[in-house]
Structure formats: structure tokens, C-alpha cells
Amino acid sequence: MSQPLMFSSSSSIVVVVVVVLVVGVVVVVVVVVVVVVVVVVVVIEVVRKRRSYTVSSCSSNSTFTIVSGSKMARRLPHSMRAHETGLIVIASGWLAVIDGCSSRLEVVVVVVVVVAVVVVIIIVTVVVVVVVVVVVVVVVVVVVVVVVVVVAVVVVVVVVMVVAVVVLVVVVAAVAAAPFKLPFKLAPGKRIVVRGSTSAESQSFSISFVVGDNVYKDDRPFMIKPRFDANLVVRNDKTSKGWGHEEKDGGFPFTRGSEYELKFLVREEYYEVMVQLLWTF
């Protein structure tokens, strides 16, 4: 009589342990998904802002739209500030200053890969949780062992999330903090040429900047899609009127092995030329 009773007690313990384990794993997965969703939503709300700013310390006020990374904003002279433009954006921009404020022209590359990192974290977390569940369910015999394993899984997931977020912040900050500066001044009569080409073998992009007799190359491998957005604040060769904001959305489509060229003529001394090139997914 005692053996069936002992067998029944052991079975009950195993059932309780399995139920507790499954519930714990479900709770961990739900918490991870909720945290990831909240982080992504917050990042999207922060980086999608586009605003107009006025340069008030120049010889004449000019209001324009500026699109760039937050790290770039800290390097802009006077009162200009900027915000990041998208969740996954590979951006390269030209920045100088309007109407005698300055003559600095620089290129800043901002790489934000939040979504890719978050997706990898989710996949790794789910795989780890599933493997742990299968192993523990197969070898579970003691309630204490199961509790220890569940606690270990929760701790590992939390540590992975924290480490991933810290690494992401450090990487993005390091990339955005390294501008490519062009040491020259803008003067009347100088012609600025932006030349770009894509590789026929892979989706990579190289760009060179020509100002007068000076050529500056930036051969960073940009992963791109066949869509090209250009936000221009410039008086170009074909514009006879005053300052204006030209926004061309998808006006320069290109595929692998293609080339393009944008030309701008400096008509006034020390005015701003801002060419923001965005390659978006």
C-alpha cells in the first residue's frame, strides 16, 4: 500500500515542478518581449523628430530644416541643434554655416542599429529559454533543482539584456563621435561636386567630395537599398531665386553599378551648403 502512495506523491511533485517551470519561462519571455517593445517604441519616438531652427547670430537670419544625428548637433556652431532621423539610418551629411557665421564643412556618419540588435537579443533569448526548458523537463526530479535552474535562466536573460543595451549605447556613441572633417573654406565661384557610385557586386556605396581642386574621399562601406533621399538647403546651378528648401524624395533612384553626380556653385561668400544623404531600409 505504501508503494502506490509514494509513486503518486512523486508524480504530483513532478507535475507541480513542470507547471511552475513552464509558468516561469512564459513570464520571462513575456517580460523580455514587453521590455524590447517599450525600448523600440521609445527609440522610435526619440529619433524620428525633425525640426526647423533659426540661426540668429548671423548677418541675416535664415530658417532651415536640419536633419542629422544628435552627436553631430554638439559640433554645430552657434544655436543650431539636430536630431536623429530614423531607427535604422545610415547617414552622411555636409554641414557648413549660413551668411558669414563660419566656414567649417564636415561630414558626419551616424549608424543606428537598434532594431537589428534587439532582434538578435530576442532570438538568442528564445532559443536559450527553449533549450533550457527541454533539458530541465527531461532531467527534472527535484523541486530545488528546478527552482535553481529557473532562477538561473532569469538571471542570464536579465544579464544578456543589460549587456546588450550597454554595448549598443557604447557602439553607437563611438561611431557617431567620429566626424570626417573637410578643412577648407567656401568662397564665391567655387564649385562643389558630390560624386557617388555603387558596387556592381555588392550593395556598398562610396562617395567623394570635390571643392575646387581639392578631392575628399569617403570609402566607408554603406549598406544601401535602391532608394535615395536628398534634403538640400542650397542655391544650385539651376536656381535663380533666393534661398529655399528643396526636398527630393526618391528623385535619384539607383541600383548596383550606378553612378550619380550633384553639383553646387558657391554664389555668395560663406553661406551654408547642407547636403544630407540618407540611405534607408
Q: Do 110 and 67 meet the contact criterion of CB atoms below 8 Å apart?
A: no
Residues 216-241 as b/e (b if ≥16 CB within 10 A, e otherwise) read bebeeebebeeebbbbbbbbeeeeee
Q: Is 1 helix (H, G, I), strand (E, B) or coil?
A: coil
Q: State residue 135's pLDDT score.
A: 67
pLDDT of 239 higher than 50: no
Burial label, 129 (beta-carbon count in 10 A; 0-12, 13-18, 19+): buried
Output 43 or 269, whichever has higher pLDDT.
43
Mean pLDDT across 56-73: 37
pLDDT of 51 higher than 70: no
In sequence order, what DSSP letters do the residues of 60-120 get, joined into one string?
S-EEEEE---HHHHTTSSTT-------SSEEEEEEE--STTS---EEEEEEE--HHHHHHH
Distance CA 267, CA 237 (A): 9
Q: State residue 8's pLDDT score.
A: 57
pLDDT of 160 higher than 60: yes
Q: State residue 43's pLDDT score.
A: 56
Output 124 or 273, whichever has higher pLDDT.
124
Mean pLDDT across 179-208: 46
Q: State residue 151's pLDDT score.
A: 77
Copy the grid coordinates of residue 113: 542599429
Q: Do 122 and 30 meet the contact criterion of CB atoms below 8 Å apart?
A: no
Query: What percent of the chain clears pLDDT 70, i.e. is strictly above it?
Result: 19
Q: What angle do CA 266, 260, 224 make, to 5 degrees?
A: 115
pLDDT of 62 higher than 50: no
138 phi/psi in degrees, rounded to 5: -70, -40
Distance CA 179, CA 171 (A): 15
pLDDT of 36 higher than 50: yes
If pLDDT is split at 50, 70 and 90, which confidence band does 138 have?
low
Distance CA 276, CA 67 (A): 7
Q: Looking up cell 522610435, which residue turns up?
A: 44
